[in-house]
């Protein structure tokens, strides 16, 4: 499956050149053109899936193992001090390219980046209610 107007389909399948770090029959791993830090890369499936919900479980499992291997390789070769995996779904969550991808973001002391959120302070009843909402049988 591929979408003719999808830039990540074209990159993943080699129609648009990219700085490829790794490739197999299912995925291509490329350097991000607007990196947050040195070595920021993207894992892109060669088939078109919009987001995590559309990604078949088999692909999901393979993608996460690949993320682990890439992180290990980059930790060693780039001597980074930490690592973020980021995966955005939906515009409100920061997804700008409508083709599933995982960000591999090496972190360095003093890299000046902030990949975090403001903590909130919900009441215990609110936490109970949200747990109930998520776990309730349909």
Contact status: 95 vs ligand 5GP (CB under 6 A): yes
Cβ of residue 25: shortest distance to ligand 5GP, in angstroms?
20
d(CA 5, CA 9): 8
Q: Which of 13, 73, 84, 88 binds ligand 5GP (CB under 6 A)?
A: 88
How many CA atoms are closer than 13 Å to the CA of 99, on its beta-carbon side?
A: 22
28-57 residues in contact with ligand 5GP (CB under 6 A) are 30-34, 42
Q: Which of 40, 48, 99, 101 is catalytic?
A: 101
Phi first, then psi: what are they for 59, rounded to 5°? -70, -40
Minimum CB separation of residue 103 from ligand 5GP in Å reads 6
d(C-alpha 104, C-alpha 107), whole Å: 10
Catalytic machinery residues:
101
């Amino acid at each position: 499956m591929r979408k003719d107007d999808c830039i990540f389909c074209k990159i993943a399948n080699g129609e648009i050149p990219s700085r490829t770090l790794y490739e197999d029959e299912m995925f291509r791993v490329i350097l991000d053109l607007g990196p947050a830090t040195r070595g920021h890369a993207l894992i892109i499936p060669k088939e078109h899936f919009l987001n995590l919900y559309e990604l078949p479980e088999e692909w999901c499992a393979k993608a996460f193992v690949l993320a682990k291997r890439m992180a290990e390789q980059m930790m060693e070769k780039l001597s980074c001090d930490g690592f973020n995996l980021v995966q955005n779904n939906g515009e409100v969550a920061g997804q700008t390219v409508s083709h599933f991808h995982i960000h591999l973001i090496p972190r360095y002391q003093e890299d000046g980046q902030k990949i975090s959120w403001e903590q909130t302070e919900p009441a215990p009843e609110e936490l109970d209610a949200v747990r109930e909402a998520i776990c309730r049988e349909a």
